[in-house]
Amino acid sequence: MQQTPNPPPPLSNPSIPAGTAPSAATEQSAATEHSDRQEPGAPWLEFVNHASVLLSDGQHAVLTDPWFFGDIFHQGWSLLVETPDDDIRRVLAQTSHIWLSHEHPDHFSPPFFRRYREQILHQGITILFQRTRDRRLVSYLRQLGLPVVELADGEPYALNPAFVVRIVKADLYDSALLADIAGVRVFNLNDCPLHSHAALGAFAERYGQCDLLLTQFSYAAWKGGKANSSWRQKAARHKIATIRAQMAVLQPAATLLFASFVRFANQLNSYMNDAVNQPAEVVAALAEQSSQPLFLAPGERQPLAALRQHPESLAFWQQQFSEIATKPLLSYRTEDNLASLQQHFADYQQRLWQANNRVLLWAARRWLALRPFDVTHLYLVDLGLTVRIELLGRLEPADDAAADLALHSSSLAYLFRHEFGFDTLFVNGCFEELRSGGFERFAKCFAIGNLNASGVFIRFGSLLRLDVIRLMLGKLNTVRSNLRQNQTPPER
């Protein structure tokens, strides 16, 4: 295996994106200056950005989920602070392995791997990923010539005798990284849906507790429309409750809050920034917990055995969140019309027919009480047009019909062109629900895309995979319940 050289000292003055207030730049520089010295051979952690940290024992180093630049989720999200090229190359120079938790673009960034392919190969860096049914992510990386090791659920992988990692699957496609590094146990849960004491208890019974927990601290998907701020406030409180439960069950001495350093960056979804959890509020809400909550600035490095909160780091991130409303917003261009959307839909259907059994799809729609694959009506805001979509039938204009959702034509075209199109739209939230039950009808029509993108298909053989199908239906029922509990009259 490739061994990394002794790490250079942490950055003394990380770059600040253009337009950042001088006070924020001063805070980031001061925060990073507080990066603590490490004893030779002592394990350390450096926070890089969003969900990315570098874990090292001085011999090997694992970089997690590198997304450092560019907007994602179809122009829906942007980083609060992008990582400069020099800093990325410095981090890669210390890296022996890269772990990817799942395929969402804030964890797996194809532009990153294309841009830094040569350095990854030169450094001899190995990529670690969970073994999946579709192997799509692994195939993509191998087409770039990059070395990938696929690990089974919970399989131990030794970087060296004192640094062992496991990838633990969660939900349809998420995973956690459990690392034992020089006697310190680190659990990186990122987006894993481990919310309840029961689920966390089962996890702890199987994998034990940890010394350091890494977990996200705010909501990260659509939570009602513009008028439904109460749902977003509830989602923000729920995230705090989840962190408390994770702290209580897993008993970490310290908890690094990360994987939420983003903003909803489109003209159609920026309202969702109104209730996101901000760092100072999170620290205050967790002050009574036995685990110390931590926010680290980009480039800040600390020894795992002596993690602590530097006020300058907290102030840096608080400044970034306070400036969200001043950031420029992205917008969609109209590039489609009714005819092109009908062609995109026909191509989408052909992929469905190739991947799934059409007879079973018809049977499910006819006989299941949930009525999957039923009709939905969508109002295309840029075209001023309402369309009727029957997944097993046609896409046609229906101007006299009441629409379920309002969205831009580019969002609908994106859904048709990409396997994770439905998931992308749900995460970026660039739509409005126009009538009660509208999103539920839309989801029942198109959620099959999520199943197929996760390697699950509606075939006679898939009847043996009812556990996965039940999980998907359970997610839909959760959304339905949230919608009904938080329903407010929609605005058009």
Q: How confident is the model at residue 25 (pLDDT cuts 50, 70, 90)?
A: very low
Least Cα distance to 246 among 304, 199, 186 occurs for 199
423 pLDDT higher than 70: yes
Q: How far apart are CA 249 and CA 389, in angstroms?
A: 46
Cα–Cα distance for residue pair 424/453, rounded to 1 Å: 12
Residue 70 CB coordination number (10 Å): 15
Q: Please state the rounded mean pLDDT for residues 231-237.
A: 96
The one-letter code for the residue type at 183 is G
Which has more pLDDT, 8 or 322? Answer: 322
Share of the chain above pLDDT 90, in %: 75
What pLDDT does residue 18 have? Answer: 29
Average pLDDT over residues 387-406: 95
Say what the pLDDT of residue 483 is: 57
Average pLDDT over residues 250-261: 98
pLDDT of 260 > 70? The answer is yes
Whole-number Å distance between alpha carbons of 13 and 32: 7
Pairwise CA distance, residues 460 & 66, whole Å = 38
Answer whether residue 139 shows pLDDT above 60: yes
Beta-strand ranges (E) seen in 92-232 are 97-99, 126-130, 148-151, 156-160, 163-170, 174-181, 184-190, 212-216
User: In the prediction, which pLDDT does 126 show?
Assistant: 98
| pLDDT at 363 (0 to 100) | 86
Question: Does 9 have pLDDT greater than 50?
Answer: no
Rounded distance between C-alpha atoms, residue 160 and residue 334, angstroms: 53
* Average of per-residue pLDDT across 342-350: 97
All structural domains of the chain with their residue ranges: 22-326, 338-485
What crossing angle do the helices spanning 409-417 and 421-428 adopt, rounded to 10°? Answer: 140
Average pLDDT over residues 337-364: 93
Q: DSSP readout, 196-233? A: SHHHHHHHHHHH---SEEEEE-S--S--S-TT-HHHHH
Q: What is the mean pLDDT of the chain?
A: 88
Are 404 and 438 in contact by the 8 Å Cβ rule? The answer is yes
Domain 22-326 has CATH 3.60.15.10: yes
Q: For 249-274, what is the mean pLDDT? A: 98
Of 34-48, 194-208, 384-398, which range is least confident?
34-48
Query: In the prediction, which pLDDT does 482 show?
Result: 58
Q: What is the pLDDT of residue 475?
A: 56
Say which residue, 279 or 171, is predicted with more confidence: 279
Residues 12-37 have a mean pLDDT of 41
Higher pLDDT, 1 or 316: 316
Distance CA(162)–CA(43), nearest Å, equals 10
Token pair recorded at residue 192:
């894993």
For the stretch 148-181, pLDDT in tens is: 999 999 999 999 999 999 999 998 789 999 999 9
